[in-house]
Amino acid sequence: MVKTKVAVIGCGTIANSAHIPAYLANAEAEMKYFCDIRVERAQQAAEKYGCGEAIADYRMALADPEVEAVSICTPNHMHASIAIDAMRAGKHVLCEKPAARTYAEALEMQKVQHETGKVLNIGVVNRFNTAVNVIKNMIDGGELGELYHVYVSFRAHRSIPGLGGDFTTKAVAGGGALIDWGVHFLDIVMYCTGDPQPRTVTGQAYCKLGKELEQYTYMNMWAGPPKLNGTYDVDDFVTGMIRTEGPTITLNGAWAQNIGVEEMYIGFLGDQAGIRLQYGKDFKLYSAKHGALLEATPAFQSTDHFQNEIDSFLKCIKTGEKLPSHIDTVILSSKIIQGIYDSSERGAEIAFDQEEARQ
Amino acid sequence: MVKTKVAVIGCGTIANSAHIPAYLANAEAEMKYFCDIRVERAQQAAEKYGCGEAIADYRMALADPEVEAVSICTPNHMHASIAIDAMRAGKHVLCEKPAARTYAEALEMQKVQHETGKVLNIGVVNRFNTAVNVIKNMIDGGELGELYHVYVSFRAHRSIPGLGGDFTTKAVAGGGALIDWGVHFLDIVMYCTGDPQPRTVTGQAYCKLGKELEQYTYMNMWAGPPKLNGTYDVDDFVTGMIRTEGPTITLNGAWAQNIGVEEMYIGFLGDQAGIRLQYGKDFKLYSAKHGALLEATPAFQSTDHFQNEIDSFLKCIKTGEKLPSHIDTVILSSKIIQGIYDSSERGAEIAFDQEEARQ
Amino acid sequence: MVKTKVAVIGCGTIANSAHIPAYLANAEAEMKYFCDIRVERAQQAAEKYGCGEAIADYRMALADPEVEAVSICTPNHMHASIAIDAMRAGKHVLCEKPAARTYAEALEMQKVQHETGKVLNIGVVNRFNTAVNVIKNMIDGGELGELYHVYVSFRAHRSIPGLGGDFTTKAVAGGGALIDWGVHFLDIVMYCTGDPQPRTVTGQAYCKLGKELEQYTYMNMWAGPPKLNGTYDVDDFVTGMIRTEGPTITLNGAWAQNIGVEEMYIGFLGDQAGIRLQYGKDFKLYSAKHGALLEATPAFQSTDHFQNEIDSFLKCIKTGEKLPSHIDTVILSSKIIQGIYDSSERGAEIAFDQEEARQ
Amino acid sequence: MVKTKVAVIGCGTIANSAHIPAYLANAEAEMKYFCDIRVERAQQAAEKYGCGEAIADYRMALADPEVEAVSICTPNHMHASIAIDAMRAGKHVLCEKPAARTYAEALEMQKVQHETGKVLNIGVVNRFNTAVNVIKNMIDGGELGELYHVYVSFRAHRSIPGLGGDFTTKAVAGGGALIDWGVHFLDIVMYCTGDPQPRTVTGQAYCKLGKELEQYTYMNMWAGPPKLNGTYDVDDFVTGMIRTEGPTITLNGAWAQNIGVEEMYIGFLGDQAGIRLQYGKDFKLYSAKHGALLEATPAFQSTDHFQNEIDSFLKCIKTGEKLPSHIDTVILSSKIIQGIYDSSERGAEIAFDQEEARQ
């Protein structure tokens, strides 16, 4: 068996906690390059995992004809250009979420995917999560009846990541709570409801609690520590409503808000049953049958969704199967997120031309 | 001292639990008429309270020159016509919420109020609630800093009232969960945020869980029992987003939904502090000061908000004071609710002409 | 970078649990000497930490020109003489609390500090505690309005340390519950209220429950085991009242008392708000605003106060910054504690000459 | 049997809830006069109890030779003059606590008692309370060993009575929390410890939370409602320390303070055992015996202390027995309370001349 040789570009948290271990655990893959512009991070990885070559310039990996697949784990602003370069160099690409900073960048990536025919999957890892797939199966199987609305909450009290750094700098990340957390929640909704075309999008995004960097009070910080002389110009609160060909969707999300309650859930409302998924955890199914109201707690075997994602990526390279994480599917949530940001600036709802949407 | 003579029109639950006892407890009021088209309900009231005259036709009360004030406690479809007749007959009016079935009806009521100069207050009783006023004082006093968003949840698992009756018949009630519950939540938001003009309204209302009357499963029913041969054509779920001159507002409301959790709250988000009000109960204040996150539980003296409402109504008749429950103020939530219903039908956001809005 | 070489004098509990680990965790410090007259304790430390030299005579460390800083962790009766020797030998000093056995000794230490210009900080570690600093910030920020009284309780049921040993021998420790526990509580009060000059001090100290060593009943003993043939001539209960330029202060403290309740708290009373600090734990803020009484529970990031203390000591050696733990500040609580003991002997209040106090 | 004819002067709360019912329940007493300058209160009492004569001027009762005993239940500023008039008119007197507004007034009362030989008891009702007497018996019986200190807490969050009225007006009441609540707590301490002579008194009284009457926030008010245009010039917080021939005593008391905890207790510290009495409730006895720490909860038959007080008063008139509530005993707490107020004004401790004290 010839192993698929892989380059991981960007050796930060997501690479080390998810992509690299999953490639190493897959018998058909071989880590060939660890790449990071801060080359010491690449070297640390090579040392730690005892394999591969540390490089600073991803073009070295793209120039190597042995490399078949790349994972892009850089900050968001590099997603589009590296993915495009990689596909044009003949590589298959798994690019972390969000696809890109903007819908325009994502469309460009999609265009090159179509031109080159290489795989371009986005790291919407929840599509490989067991609980999410059980929910999708229930909805597809008609368990919920007509699914008319989904409400989404990704609201934390204090959870701004790396204040002042890449996460909170619009030129790097493209946005804040919506593009970083909302993308996951929205993607679960899209996946479970059959990736419906959006019709209208309205929303408002606020940059409030981190704006005065020194005055931001918190208990702990992921992706920290803070850079108090850095930039904070992204949304820490966002609200929005989306009409689709399927259900309507509303969302309220906060990296930070002055409400000391963490509410991370998705509520799927069907006329026969409903589901409340606690993000990253379990879910409950509510129905009414035979005159009784039922609250059901499902149990199932879980598998590691990152491993599933990588395994599926490696497999689809060989089989040509189009995964649910393909750019053609994920492009829709890029469009919606862009719509919310645009609507927020205009102070008005955006209606998509349905004809164009279906092209 | 000459007592203010009062007629209560409509002798159902709200009259018996709130209006009549409050008039009786006010030393300056005297109950003269109990009116109900089902005259036996009027007679029961007259007997029970040992005073007043039972009548079936409210025009008898309006024709009595001694009557100064009327409370309208009928189903919604009678609000406008009785209020208009009463004002034209020279009576001061306290009309239960919602003002009317539609914005058009409410505007007609307002017009007649302006013509006659009589008092026309709407039963937005939360404006006389202690907790709500403490919150308003905190917001007015700058405690929350800039208030940028309010999210509203009035979601119950199973709480459709009087299935098949007045409450669930659009021609009578004008709507369902939004006009019956949402009006209270929205009114609290408007009151606490200074009754800001709405700029855009978008929303979607769904008539789902009660549609097949016999299949509606529930544990108990207020305003019941169900009439299984009755009408059910109102919203049991509603979602919406409103942009105003002040904060944005999002709401998700359900008389019934297939999620077995009751979430009745309003979250006020300010950049300095936030408040989570549990509807009809207490609230918490969240802030950050001196490097600490603070969660504060306020305690205060509560008074009966219905009594306050009636006392204030009787007093303003004499003093001419314009109460916060005046039709001129409450008309705004009528406009917003109408906007949500209209937007739901069109499948698109409605933008109000701001010039017109300020007239 | 040249590391600051440190000698720790006295290798008992406080050295091993706080000073030494904090020096080791500071990249700019290097442990050079572990000193203890019971040299085996010094040797154990050197072995355990794998660095430094074990010595029995602290003068060896003082004679080493490389040593820049010393921590004094001995029993109280050695504080003054070692600190004075160290400063005269050109060393910077961090001396555990209390500064000394008596005010006279503390004044002598201060005098030598002024002569030599070396750092002399006292181990009033709560000044480096996060909760305490949040409280100080709140008070300084005017959150409490006028702060008029502080009541202090450090009352335990049975907590005499090392009965019969150094802690309970006046010639060694200078006192009991007041000088050992009270010093911490009083220091928090002084720090948070701006280190106000005392005007009058009255108090009474009692040596009761441990007096008959064999009859002292207890559940467990810190700094034990008891030496039943040892000395017990210090206060196990103390009460006092202090008038200052700021608030009045009352205290009731017990290493042991026949009341089976542990009450370790400080209550700061302001006319706008109040704070109850549970010693070593969290605090609550009580206020009244907009007609409501508020009870707030603050959350904040805590850091290790011993580490902060050592870090600040090492840093101030380089920067010359005068810390809030400087002898010039801490001398005031020495004066107050002495005042309580003196007042107890005289059975009368002591009034300080304010002119003199301000010199 | 000839019944003792009684006049009750002042028909407010304490008369109606305690004195009058107790006289009525005593077979040897007969209510002859209800007196109140607001004569309608006297008339209400006469009607309610179906006996006696309602009068507005207490001198009418004093002029009636049949009247043997009077209870003085007026506001504090009338205690001295009525008691003196009554004794001079040959009546025996039970005067509500505090004896008077000031020590000078109390001394005047005592002087007239000595001149006339009539009974003058003060309403220190806790001396007739079962729990308090059990404690006194335990202390007298040596159960606690040497009693060296008593700490007293009468601290409430919000409990100012009748804001702006008699209770909060110094010219009427003589003081606030100390004279109204403290008098009871201090009296219990004095009684249980054998009414020891005070040697020194220091204290500080603060008039803070009610000072701006309109800004005082509270949940409910006893002796209310507030008079917002009234007077508030008394202490709502007081602290003090007393040295006596017996134990030292410290107290912290608050009608109102910005600490949301109610702490109403007395802690008696003995070297063999201690007692914590929850005011108006039960107590616990803490001791150590046979190597064990013991926490004991005593149970005993309780009787009504007000009834005991009245019964004892009526009986001592006949027997000539000198009760523990005699002015000669209670004068000491008047002296102490005056001492605290005087010390507060001077900002210094007051030392009593012991020789004089013993005269």
Q: pLDDT by residue (tens digit) across D129-159?
A: 999 999 999 999 999 999 999 999 999 999 9
- For residue B354, the model assigns a pLDDT of 56
Sort out which chain C residues have CB atoms less than 8 A from B298's CB and list them: 289, 292-294
Sort out which chain B residues have CB atoms less than 8 A from D217's CB and list them: 300
Q: Are B43 and B16 in contact (CB under 8 A)?
A: no
The residue among D259, D265, D283, D345 with the most chain C CBs within 10 A of its CB, best to mutate, is: D259
Q: How many residues does chain B have?
A: 359
How many Cβ atoms are within 10 Å of C321's Cβ, its own excluded?
Answer: 11
Spell out the SS3 assignment of D145-171.
CCEEEEEEEEECCECCCCCCCHHHCHH
Q: Does residue B359 register a pLDDT over 50? A: no
List, in order, residues 6 or more apart from D250 with CB less than 8 Å away. C239, C241, C250, C252, D149, D150, D151, D152, D239, D240, D241, D242
Q: Is D305 helix (H, G, I), strand (E, B) or coil?
A: helix
- Of B133, B187, B132, B185, the residue nearest B156 (C-alpha): B185
DSSP letter, residue B179: I
Q: How many CA atoms lie within 13 A of C39 on its CB side?
A: 6
Burial state string for B305-314 with b = 16 or more CB within 10 A and e = fewer than 16:
bbbbbbbbbb
Q: Where are the alpha helices (DSSP H) in chain D?
A: 13-14, 20-25, 39-49, 58-63, 79-88, 103-116, 130-140, 170-173, 177, 183-192, 305-319, 327-346, 354-358
Examine residue A65 and say whether the peptide bond preceding it is cis (omega within 30 degrees of 0): no
- Find the residue in B nearest to A349 (Cα): B349
Same domain for A121 and A75, yes or no, is yes
Sort out which chain D residues have CB atoms less than 8 A from C349's CB and list them: 200, 202, 348-349
Sort out which chain A residues have CB atoms less than 8 A from B218's CB and list them: 293
Same domain for B82 and B230, yes or no, is no
CA angle (B147, B149, B150) in 5-degree steps: 105
Contact C299 A220 (CB under 8 A): no
Please tell me the distance from the alpha carbon of residue A303 to that of residue A315, in angstroms, as a whole number.
Answer: 17
DSSP letter, residue C78: G
In angstroms, the separation between the Cα of residue C351 and the nearest Cα of chain A is: 44
- Taking CB atoms and an 8 Å cut-off, how many pairs form between chains A and B? 140
The pLDDT > 70 percentage for chain B reads 98
Q: State yes or no: chains D and B have 3 or more CB pairs below 8 A.
A: yes
List, in order, residues 6 or more apart from D313 with CB less than 8 Å away. D69, D92, D94, D119, D121, D323, D325
B319 burial (CB, 10 Å; 0-12 / 13-18 / 19+) is exposed
- Find the residue in A nearest to B153 (Cα): A151
Please tell me the distance from the alpha carbon of residue A294 to that of residue B263, in angstroms, as a whole number.
Answer: 18
Q: Which residue has the tokens 């939004």?
A: B178
Contact C259 D248 (CB under 8 A): no
| Reported pTM | 0.89
- Taking CB atoms and an 8 Å cut-off, how many pairs form between chains B and C? 67
In angstroms, the separation between the Cα of residue B89 and the nearest Cα of chain D is: 41
- Over residues B114-124, the pLDDT tens digits come to 999 999 999 99
Chains with ≥3 CB–CB distances under 8 Å to B: A, C, D
Q: Does residue B72 register a pLDDT over 80? A: yes
Spell out where C169-307 has E strands: 198-206, 237-244, 248-254, 263-270, 273-278, 283-289, 292-299
- Of C51, C54, C41, C47, the residue nearest C14 (C-alpha): C41
Those residues of chain A that have pLDDT short of 50 are 355, 357-359
- For residue C359, the model assigns a pLDDT of 47
Same domain for A152 and A112, yes or no, is no
Same domain for A208 and A177, yes or no, is yes
Please tell me the distance from the alpha carbon of residue A79 to that of residue A58, in angstroms, as a whole number.
Answer: 12
A 183-242: CB under 8 A from B: 199-200, 202-204, 206, 208-209, 211, 217-219, 237, 239-241
* Inter-helix orientation angle D130-140/D183-192, to 10°: 40
The residue among A232, A259, A283, A352 with the most chain B CBs within 10 A of its CB, best to mutate, is: A259
Mean pLDDT (whole number) for C258-285: 97
Cα→Cα distances B233→B78, B208, B226, Å? 19, 9, 14
| Neighbour order of strands in the sheet with D283-289 | D292-296, D283-289, D273-278, D263-270, D147-155, D248-254, D237-244, D198-206, D350-351
Spell out the SS3 assignment of C8-64.
EECCCHHHHHHHHHHHHHCCCEEEEEEECCCHHHHHHHHHHHCCCEEECCHHHHHHC
Q: Are D196 and D245 in contact (CB under 8 A)?
A: yes
The residue among B134, B297, B301 with the most chain D CBs within 10 A of its CB, best to mutate, is: B301
Q: Are D265 and D188 in contact (CB under 8 A)?
A: no
- Taking CB atoms and an 8 Å cut-off, how many pairs form between chains B and D? 6
Q: How many CA atoms lie within 13 A of A286 on its CB side?
A: 22
Contact B299 C293 (CB under 8 A): yes
- Over residues C155-182, the pLDDT tens digits come to 999 999 999 999 999 999 999 999 999 9
Q: Does residue C332 register a pLDDT over 90? A: yes
- For residue A359, the model assigns a pLDDT of 47
In angstroms, the separation between the Cα of residue B129 and the nearest Cα of chain C is: 13
| Beta partners for residue C201, in sequence order | C242, C350
Q: Are A238 and A178 in contact (CB under 8 A)?
A: yes
ipTM of the complex: 0.95
Same domain for B292 and B311, yes or no, is no
A161 falls within a domain: yes
B218 falls within a domain: yes
Contact C291 B138 (CB under 8 A): no
In angstroms, the separation between the Cα of residue A215 and the nearest Cα of chain C is: 13
- For residue D148, the model assigns a pLDDT of 98
Contact A237 B206 (CB under 8 A): no
DSSP letter, residue B274: E
- Find the residue in A nearest to B269 (Cα): A258
Q: Are A12 and A38 in contact (CB under 8 A)?
A: no
In angstroms, the separation between the Cα of residue B23 and the nearest Cα of chain D is: 23
CATH of the domain at A193: 3.30.360.10
Token pair in block for residue A215:
């005055």
- Over residues A168-208, the pLDDT tens digits come to 999 999 999 999 999 999 999 999 999 999 999 999 999 99
Sign of the Cα torsion A89, A91, A92, A98 reads negative
| Residue B301 touches partner D, C-beta closer than 8 Å | yes
Q: State yes or no: chains D and C have 3 or more CB pairs below 8 A.
A: yes
Please tell me the distance from the alpha carbon of residue B195 to that of residue B186, in angstroms, as a whole number.
Answer: 10
- For residue C312, the model assigns a pLDDT of 97
Spell out where B145-189 has E strands: 147-155
Q: State yes or no: chains C and B have 3 or more CB pairs below 8 A.
A: yes
Token pair in block for residue C206:
């009692």
Number of structural domains chain C divides into: 2
- Find the residue in A nearest to C300 (Cα): A219
Helix-strand-coil percent breakdown of chain D, rounded to 5?
40, 25, 35
Mean pLDDT (whole number) for B273-301: 93
- Of A73, A62, A1, the residue nearest A30 (C-alpha): A1
Please tell me the distance from the alpha carbon of residue A359 to that of residue B9, in angstroms, as a whole number.
Answer: 60
B250 falls within a domain: yes
Same domain for D137 and D272, yes or no, is yes
B282 falls within a domain: yes
- Find the residue in C nearest to A217 (Cα): C300
C330 falls within a domain: no
Same domain for B9 and B107, yes or no, is yes
In angstroms, the separation between the Cα of residue B292 and the nearest Cα of chain C is: 4
Burial state string for D88-110 with b = 16 or more CB within 10 A and e = fewer than 16:
ebebbbbbbbbbbbbbebbbbbb
C351 falls within a domain: yes
CATH of the domain at D109: 3.40.50.720
Q: Is C185 helix (H, G, I), strand (E, B) or coil?
A: helix
Report residue C354's pLDDT band, with 50, 70 and 90 as the boundaries. Answer: low
Same domain for C139 and C280, yes or no, is yes
Same domain for C169 and C58, yes or no, is no
C 111-150: CB under 8 A from B: 130, 133-134, 137-138, 141, 143
Could you list the residue range(s) of the whole structural domain that residue C290 is in? 127-303+335-358
Q: Are A94 and A69 in contact (CB under 8 A)?
A: yes
Those residues of chain D that have pLDDT short of 50 are 355, 357-359
D29 falls within a domain: yes
Of C291, C294, C298, the CB nearest to B293: C298
- Taking CB atoms and an 8 Å cut-off, how many pairs form between chains C and D? 140
Sign of the Cα torsion D32, D37, D39, D41 reads negative
- Find the residue in A nearest to B266 (Cα): A259
How do beta strands D283-289 and D273-278 pair?
antiparallel
Comparing A303-307, B355-359, C237-241, which segment has the lowest mean pLDDT?
A: B355-359
Q: How many residues does chain A have?
A: 359
Sort out which chain A residues have CB atoms less than 8 A from C303's CB and list them: none
Contact B347 A148 (CB under 8 A): no
Same domain for A205 and A118, yes or no, is no
Same domain for B233 and B342, yes or no, is yes
Same domain for C48 and C162, yes or no, is no
Chains with ≥3 CB–CB distances under 8 Å to C: A, B, D
Please tell me the distance from the alpha carbon of residue C110 to that of residue C119, in angstroms, as a whole number.
Answer: 10
